[in-house]
Amino acid sequence: MTATTHIPSRAPFLLTLWRDSNVIQKAAALIGLALVLMALLAPLIAPYDPLAQSLISRLRPPLGFERYKDGFYLGTDELGRDVLSRSLHGLQLTLGLALAGATIGLLIGGSLGLFAGLRRGWAEDAIMAAVDLQIAVPFTLLALLILALFGSSLTVMICVLGIAGWEQYARIVRAEVRKITELPFIEAARASGGGQRYIALTHVLPNIVSPLVVQFTLSLSNIVILESTLSFLGLGVQPPTATLGSMVGYGRDYMPTAPWMVIAPAALIILVTFSVQILGDWLRDRADVRLRDR
Amino acid sequence: MTLYILRTLLKMVLTLFAIITLVFFATRMSGSPLDTALGDGLSTEDRALMIEYFGLDRSIWHQYLAYLRGILEGNFGLSFIERRPVADIVAERIWPTLQLLGSALALTLVVSVPLGVVAALWRDSWIGSAVMGLAFIGYAVPNFVIATFMVLIFAFSLNWLPVVGNGTAWHFIMPTIAMSGVLIAALTRFTRNSMLDVLGQDFMRTARAKGLPETVVILKHGLRNAGVTVLSVLGLQIAGMAAAGNVVVEAIFSWPGIGELLVSAAIMRDYPVLQFGVISVAFAVVVINALTDIAYVVADPRIRMAKG
pLDDT one-digit tens code per residue, A137-173 = 888 888 888 888 888 888 889 999 999 889 889 988 9
Report d(CA A67, CA B161) in Å as an integer: 29
* Global confidence as pTM: 0.85
Q: B269 vs A228: CB contact, 8 Å cut-off?
A: no
pLDDT one-digit tens code per residue, A217-244 = 888 988 999 999 999 988 888 888 888 8
CA distance A192 to chain B (A): 41
- Point out the residue among A138, A235, A266 whose CB comes nearest to the CB of B148: A266
Dihedral of CA atoms A21, A25, A27, A32 in degrees, nearest 10, equals -120
The residue-averaged pLDDT of A49-66 equals 76
Taking an 8 Å Cβ-Cβ cutoff, which residues of chain A contact chain B? 129, 132-133, 135-142, 144-150, 221, 225, 228-229, 232-235, 245, 248, 252, 255-256, 259, 262-263, 266, 269-270, 273-274, 277-278, 281
pLDDT one-digit tens code per residue, B142-161 = 889 988 888 888 888 787 88
CA distance A282 to chain B (A): 13
C-alpha radius of gyration, chain A, whole number: 23
Q: Which residue of B has its CA nearest to A219?
A: B140
Q: Which residue of B has its CA nearest to A276?
A: B140
- Point out the residue among B22, B140, B263 whose CB comes nearest to the CB of A144: B263
Give B278's contacts in chain A (Cβ within 8 Å).
141-142, 144-145
CA distances from A294 to A13, A158, A172, A204, B296 (A): 18, 39, 20, 18, 36
Residue A36 neighbours by CB under 8 Å, 6+ apart: A95
Report d(CA B152, CA B62) in Å as an integer: 52
- Point out the residue among B11, B142, B247 whose CB comes nearest to the CB of A141: B247
pLDDT one-digit tens code per residue, B218-253 = 877 888 778 777 777 777 777 888 888 888 899 888
Report d(CA A248, CA B144) in Å as an integer: 9
Confidence of residue A292 (pLDDT cuts 50, 70, 90): very low
Q: B140 vs A147: CB contact, 8 Å cut-off?
A: no
pLDDT confidence of residue A108 = 94
Candidates B20, B79, B97, B145, partner chain A, best to mutate (most A CBs within 10 A) = B145
Instruction: Output b/e per residue, A13-44; b: 16+ Cβ within 10 A.
Output: eeeeeeeebeeebeebbebbeebbebbeebee
In degrees, rounded to 5, the angle at the alpha carbon of residue A190 between the alpha carbons of residues A185 and A191 is 95
What's the burial of B264, exposed, middle or buried (CB within 10 Å: 0-12/13-18/19+)? middle
Residue A280 neighbours by CB under 8 Å, 6+ apart: A214, A217, A218, A220, A221
CA distance B266 to chain A (A): 5
The residue-averaged pLDDT of A257-268 equals 87
The residue-averaged pLDDT of A2-12 equals 57
pLDDT confidence of residue A10 = 58
CA distance B237 to chain A (A): 9
B143-150 helix and B170-199 helix, angle to the nearest 10 degrees: 140
Q: Which residue of A has its CA nearest to B288?
A: A136
Amino acid type, B3:
L
Give B149's contacts in chain A (Cβ within 8 Å).
266
The residue-averaged pLDDT of B155-173 equals 80
Q: Which residue of B has its CA nearest to A234?
A: B267
- Point out the residue among B142, B240, B252 whose CB comes nearest to the CB of A138: B240
Mean pLDDT of chain A: 83
Give strand pairing partners of B85.
B78
Q: Which residue of A has its CA nearest to B15?
A: A133
pLDDT confidence of residue B110 = 92
Amino acid type, B208:
R
pLDDT one-digit tens code per residue, B79-136 = 777 778 888 888 888 898 898 999 999 999 899 888 988 888 888 888 888 888 888 8
Q: B19 vs A262: CB contact, 8 Å cut-off?
A: no
- ipTM value for the complex: 0.82
The residue-averaged pLDDT of A39-60 equals 79
Give A133's contacts in chain B (Cβ within 8 Å).
15, 18-19, 22
Give A252's contacts in chain B (Cβ within 8 Å).
148, 252
